[in-house]
Amino acid sequence: MPRPMTRIQIRNSETILEAALDVFSAHGFRGATLDQIAEVAGLSKPNLLYYFPSKEAIHRTLLTRLLSTWLDPLRDMDAAGDPVAEVMGYMRRKLELSRDYPRESRLFAIEILQGAPRMREAIEGELTALVAEKAKVLQHWMDEGRIARLDPVHLVFSIWALTQHYADFDVQVRAVLGSGHDPYAEAGAFLETLYARLLAP
């Protein structure tokens, strides 16, 4: 049984992961190097390799954490709740994730654009199973006439697209809106109106 990590080891591991998030979200897996990560972390490359044996190991750790964070709001969609409130709550939590975790969103987007070579198993397994489970909940609400009849999977896709856009295309959004705008507050108000109308039975 491995020994528990010391406080210093935990701190250094988190420092490396935080630095790697900066580097991977800016350059992608292929463009990132261990030397870049070590420099941003303020550690030597041998010290970094003491904690993580490879660039792949660091990247895999980040993606595993990210997928869990990304799926939590969908897991929280409650079949016993009010359908409109549950869908709106999911949309708002996804928008908050884009606001609060823009680097993680870009890391995920880059991985998907590269064909998801390091997380295909998780996407085809855990993510797909969860979407299928929640699609049944949405379909049940539709069959009861409590929300409009829509394709439930594409409804989930639309929430992903309309919320993650604000993280992945942040520079474009802010350039078009100009100064003096809060993209996330404005997006939240717009998306609430959009989904309220879309979901109305």
Burial class from Cβ neighbours inside 10 Å (0-12, 13-18, 19+) for residue 130 reads middle
Domains for the chain: give ranges and CATH numbers: 1-53 (1.10.10.60), 60-199 (1.10.357.10)
* pLDDT tier, 116 (very low <50, low <70, confident <90, very high otherwise): confident
Burial class (CB in 10 A: 0-12, 13-18, 19+), 18: middle
Which amino acid is located at 101 in the chain?
A: Y
Residue 32 sits at the vertex; the CA angle it makes with 28 and 36, to the nearest 5 degrees, is 140
Q: Using CA of residue 44, residue 46, residue 49, residue 54, what is the dihedral sign?
A: positive
Q: How confident is the model at residue 1 (pLDDT cuts 50, 70, 90)?
A: low
Q: Over the range 108-122, which residues count as b (16 or more CB within 10 Å of their CB) and which as e?
A: bbbbeeeeeebbeeb
For the chain, give the mean pLDDT.
93
In this prediction the pTM is 0.86
Indicate the helix (H) or strand (E) that contains 37: helix 34-41
Question: Is 156 in contact with 131 (CB distance < 8 Å)?
Answer: yes
> What does the pLDDT look like over 70-99, one tens digit per residue?
899 999 999 999 999 999 999 999 999 999
DSSP state letter for 181: -
**Tell me, what's the pLDDT at 151?**
98
State the residue for tokens 């303020």: 42
Task: Give the pLDDT score at 2.
Answer: 61
List b or e across 51-63, with b for residues whose CB sees 16 or more CB atoms inside 10 angstroms: bbeebeebbeebb
